[in-house]
Amino acid sequence: MILKRIGVCLTVCLLLGACNDAPPEVASTASASASAARPDDEFAVERPPVNPKWPTYLVGTETTYAPFEFRDSQGNPVGFEIDLLYAIAQNQQFNITILPNKRKDAQHYLDTGRHHIWVSAFQIGVDIDADYTDSLMDFYRVVAVLEHSPLKTAADLKQKIIAVNKNSSQETLNKAVTLTGTPDKVSHSETFVLAIHAVQGDKADGVLGDVNMLRAYDKDHAEVKFRYITINDPVGHIGFAVKKGNKELQRKLNQGLSAVKANGTYDALVKKWFGH
């Protein structure tokens, strides 16, 4: 089911194109049809029409982090952060154009002004040198193992195979090496879901990832029993990123975030995507 949801998550169907070369002040309507809701899709969400009187911001994201952002069965970017940003945009009266790209290039796209916002489950103050919004959600990493696994503690993970999403932050990749004791025991998957499947298929002993993503997977896959091993990972905070110094856009995003938290939209989206 999850594989169907992420669909062609690595397909390059929305490359940079002309929109990426547009200067920050130019409004774009390229996403109006590309991100339209599909009534036959499980995660279809009615996207607001482009308002020509509002500014449009170009939004970068890597769609391999279900349920934060991934592709639906039609190839459209969906997920918690996508829905949340649309809600904020409506509240603050701006349009957004979603441009799936590689997370590792986010710094470049923000610095050069080709993207105005990056949405990719970024850890505030850690993943890239940018200005961040207020916290969208707390997170910490754990290692998920199958319920019957003999592994109980972080010490048991030495010389075991740990699967990770290869597009994860460098901090996460380094953590996997520390836990296993060697980079040779870290299995790199194309997406987080495929990393989970590596454990289910006995190709890895555990998967390292954000506890929120693992709980969301558990919610939709009650037939699979996972147990979490804590690794003394400090609690971090997830936020949207904008170019360093873009205080006006940072302020808009924070004002919108406060508003959707106050009106109940935020809680509804958390329940929708994470089940709590």
**Distance, CA of 172 to CA of 165 (rounded, Å):** 9
| pLDDT score, position 169 | 85
* Residue linked to tokens 């499980």: 42
Distance, in Å, from the CA atom of 168 to the CA atom of 21, rounded to the nearest integer, reads 27
Classify domain 56-138+237-274 by CATH architecture: 3-Layer(aba) Sandwich (3.40)
Q: Contact 75/13 with Cβ under 8 angstroms? A: yes
Q: Do domains 56-138+237-274 and 141-234 have the same CATH topology?
A: yes
The structural domains of the chain, with segments of one domain joined by +, span 56-138+237-274, 141-234
> Considering the entire predicted model, what is its pTM?
0.77
From the list 158, 147, 164, the residue with the least C-alpha distance to 181 is: 158
Lookup: tokens for 81: 């952060």
Identity at 191, one-letter amino acid code: T
Counting Cβ atoms within 10 Å, is residue 180 exposed (0-12), middle (13-18) or buried (19+)?
buried
Q: If the chain, 276 residues long, is cut into consecutive pieces of 10 residues, what is the mean pLDDT of each piece?
A: 39 37 34 33 63 96 92 93 97 96 95 97 94 97 97 98 92 95 97 94 96 90 92 95 98 98 96 88
What CATH fold (topology level) applies to the domain 141-234?
Answer: D-Maltodextrin-Binding Protein; domain 2 (3.40.190)
Residue 182: burial class (beta carbons within 10 Å; 0-12, 13-18, 19+) = exposed
- Where are any strands of DSSP class E within the chain? 56-61, 70-71, 77-78, 95-100, 117-123, 131-132, 137-139, 141-146, 162-165, 186-189, 206-210, 226-230, 236-242
Give residue 160's pLDDT.
98
d(CA 6, CA 193): 9
